[in-house]
Structure formats: C-alpha cells, structure tokens
Amino acid sequence: MPDFKLPDLGEGVTEAEVERWLVKEGDHVKEDDPLVEVITDKATAEIPSPYEGVVARIYVGEGETAPVGTVLVTIGETVGAAEPSPKRRDRVKAMPPVRRLARDLGVDLDTLTATGPHGDVTRADVEHAAAPASGGEVESKRASRREPLRGVRRTISERMTRAHREIPAVTHVEECDVTELDATRKLLIARHPEEAKLTYLPFVVKAVIMGLRRFPALNASLDEVAQEIVFHERFDIGVAVDTDAGLSVPVIKDADSKSIFELALEIERLAGAARAGRLERDDLRDGTFTVTSPGPFGGLMATPIILHPQSAILGVHRAVDRPVVRDGQVVIRKIMNLSVSFDHRILDGLTAARFTLEIATALEHPALLELR
C-alpha cells in the first residue's frame, strides 16, 4: 500500500499544519480527488490524492504540524486490500491535550458527544463527562473553554510576536478631511454603476503609491544579515482582510499600474478569496507596504503592527462627521485619522510625518490622484 508524504509546497515552505481532512479512514478515493487541506505560513492549500484506492490509515491529525516529507496517509490499491479491519470505526477527533486529559480522568472518548466546531471532542466535553465520577465537580472553579492556537491564528501569533520583538516601531498620526473624497467617490459610483464598488480603500492605495514614490524608505525592508536597506522599485501593496479564520493580508501586485476601478476590482477579488479560504500562494507573497482599514469599525486611532520585514504599515480609521474650523467658521466635515507605524531602524519620524501628510493631502484633494 503506497504512503503519501507531505509534498514540497515551494517558496521555502518546510512544514505545514493539517487544517482539515477531506476523507476518513475507509473512504474510497480516486486520483486527484481532494484529500486534505493544509496551512503553511504562506497560504492554505488543498492537496489532491495522488492515487486511487481506499484510505487505510491517516497518520497526522487535524491541528498537527508535520515537516515536508512526513507520511500523511496510506492509501490501499484496491478496496478489498485497503480494509485494515471489518467495519473499522472512525477515530474520534480530539486534540492531543484533550486526549491526555481524557486519559488522566478515565474518560472514554468514544462515549462522548462532540461539541467542537469541527466535530471534535473538546476539553469541556471531557470535563463534563468526568464530573459525575468526581462528585459533580472536576475543578474547584467553573471550567473555562479552551481552543487550540492553530491554523491562521497561530500563523498570525508567530508573525506578530516576531515583528513586535524585532522591529522598534513608532506610530505617527495625522488627521484627514475626506469630505471632497467622499463626494468624488459617490460621483464616480453614480457615473459608472457597471464598475466595481468603490470604497475609500482604492483611493487610499493610490495616495499611498504617491507617498511611497516621494519617500522610498517606506517602501523598503531591512536585510539584517547583510545589514542593508533594500529599497523596492515595485509597488505591491498588501491589504489586511478580516476573515472567520483571522487576519489575512493578500497583496495587490503592481498596484501603481492599475486604475481606481481596477484597484477596486482586485481588492474585491482578494477579499472574497481570503474570506473563502481560497487565496493562492502568490496572492500572499512579496508585499512591499501594507494598508489596514477596518472600515466602520476602525475607531479613532490605532497602532498597527508592521508586517515583517516591511518598513511601515498604514492604518485607515473610521470617517465621521465632526465640527471643524474652516475660514473662521465652524462647519461639519467628514474627518478620519491616518496612523503610520514605521521601523525606526530604517527611517526617522520626520520622514514618516511627511509621508503621512502626503497621503492626507492627496485624499483631501482627490484631483491630485491619478484615477485612471
């Protein structure tokens, strides 16, 4: 019976986490049928079966991480040859810590009703089953619910920890009057109803590119081994997207070559793919600068963490009507804040302040933007 090993997924990937098995032991699969979904530090990938036969044994459970070359599954050549035992019962799904807890408390996992989000037995399930045997109480306090740190959330955790540990980051904040921009956006929507929906974000990307051209230190990264600052000549802009699995940052490639509607369409495509878990590895690679825009949930101000090894990230916050003074009169204008967190090893505060002001000026006067 052939063993199937975790393949080399390219781009320097050395390991992957099993997110979800699409088959179970005893299932018959055909060649190229979907077999397993894995998560790397680059993307989520669906791996097809290289053989036809029956799934004889799965070696790596959901939530477990394996190096490239690890045997994931054994697939029998024929239905008859692949049955390890008659009517083999499916293995109960549970994370290793939950299995250890069940052993410690003397709980048979096969007897439990799983309440986990993917049909897995949780810690609470085990504790609840053990309660009657211990006089109705497993712990002196009410049990807490636990979830494994896995998948996209674990990748985010590792990246953010590294960025916070290695990058001496500083944040500069600028106020921006987007009243005219809002009017321009609504006019373009009315005149081009057939085009992609225009949010503030495509305009922000246009303004960012203007700023990066004038201040290239923000479109750079630090090569710590060579002790060199790498100034990128391309404008591949990452856009943070909130998904059910956590934050994802797909990249708009060659953003400087796209019109405002092309940017809107690409942002729409990337956001949809991110939320569906269908981003390609290339969609997540080689960003030179990142924009994070929580939309109506953006608050007044935040200090976003830089995506290592980039030198800066722009936070775009909620636009609200505020009373402001213009020409000695108090008027209502649509105001939002922009925050730029930057790597102080690569650039200084004055450069970051000028960059942020350049973006704000472009957004306040949308005629400066190259919309086509």
Q: Which residues are catalytic?
A: 344
Cβ partners under 8 Å of residue 34, min gap 6: 22, 46, 47, 48, 49
Query: Do 45 and 37 touch, CB atoms closer than 8 A?
Result: yes
Give the separation between CA 232 and CA 211, rounded to whole angstroms. Answer: 14
Handedness of CA 82, 84, 89, 93 (dihedral sign): negative
Neighbours of 87 (CB within 10 A): 6
Diameter of the chain measured on Cα atoms: 87
Strand pairing class (320-326; 329-343) = antiparallel
Cβ partners under 8 Å of residue 185, min gap 6: 198, 199, 200, 203
Strand pairing class (3-5; 71-76) = antiparallel
Cβ partners under 8 Å of residue 95, min gap 6: 61, 63, 120, 148
Q: Give the burial string for 125-139 (b: 16+ CB within 10 Å, else e).
A: bbbbbbeeeeeeebe
Give the separation between CA 258 and CA 253, rounded to whole angstroms. Answer: 9
β-bridge mates for residue 336, sequence order: 176
Closest CA to 312 of 264, 348, 337, 284: 348
Hey, which bits of 81-166 come out as E strands?
none
Give the separation between CA 277 and CA 243, rounded to whole angstroms. Answer: 9
Give the separation between CA 171 and CA 361, rounded to whole angstroms. Answer: 19
Query: Do 310 and 287 touch, CB atoms closer than 8 A?
Result: yes
